[in-house]
Amino acid sequence: MTRYFTEDHEWIEVDGQTATVGITDYAQSQLGDIVFVEVPAEGTSVAKGNEAAVVESVKAASDVYSPVTGVVIEGNPALEDDPALVNSAPEGDGWFFKLTITQPNELDALMDAEKYKAFCDSL
């Protein structure tokens, strides 16, 4: 599996035509304690760069954007009962949704881990 990152601090882990999407550790640390997460419903079409989910913290509410175009195949049900999973495991069990990628060429515009780290270091 290959993991990519966006400038909006989402990560996407790709396995064939299927991908898992979440927010990075950097993003969750900027948001603070997560108190609510709204994930997209199964069957929802999402477009690259458009809002796909919502995360609310004690500080602010923020949109989560889809890194690529696709169709949602699963929202993370664990986040409904335990939104703090985004804080404790943002790049693991705190994932937001899984999708089937319909435009795989869009992955080419995303950053790898090394480029994303350099990007965060520049902020």
**pTM > 0.85: yes or no:** yes
Phi, psi values for residue 11, rounded to 5°: -120, 155
The rounded distance, in Å, linking the Cα atoms of 71 and 22 is 15
CATH number of 2-103: 2.40.50.100
Question: Is the pLDDT at 9 greater than 90, yes or no?
Answer: yes
The SS3 call for residue 66 is coil
CB 23 within 8 A of CB 10: yes
Strands of 45-46's sheet in order across: 2-5, 10-15, 18-23, 97-101, 70-75, 45-46
* Residue 24 host element (H or E): none
Structure confidence at residue 40 as a pLDDT band (50, 70, 90):
very high
Q: Where are the domains of the chain?
A: 2-103
pLDDT of residue 1: 86
Q: Which residue has the tokens 């990007």?
A: 119
What is residue 120's three-state secondary structure?
A: helix
Q: Is the pLDDT of residue 6 over 90?
A: yes
- pLDDT tens figures, 52-107: 999 999 988 999 999 999 999 999 999 999 999 999 999 999 999 999 999 999 99
Whole-number pLDDT of residue 74: 98
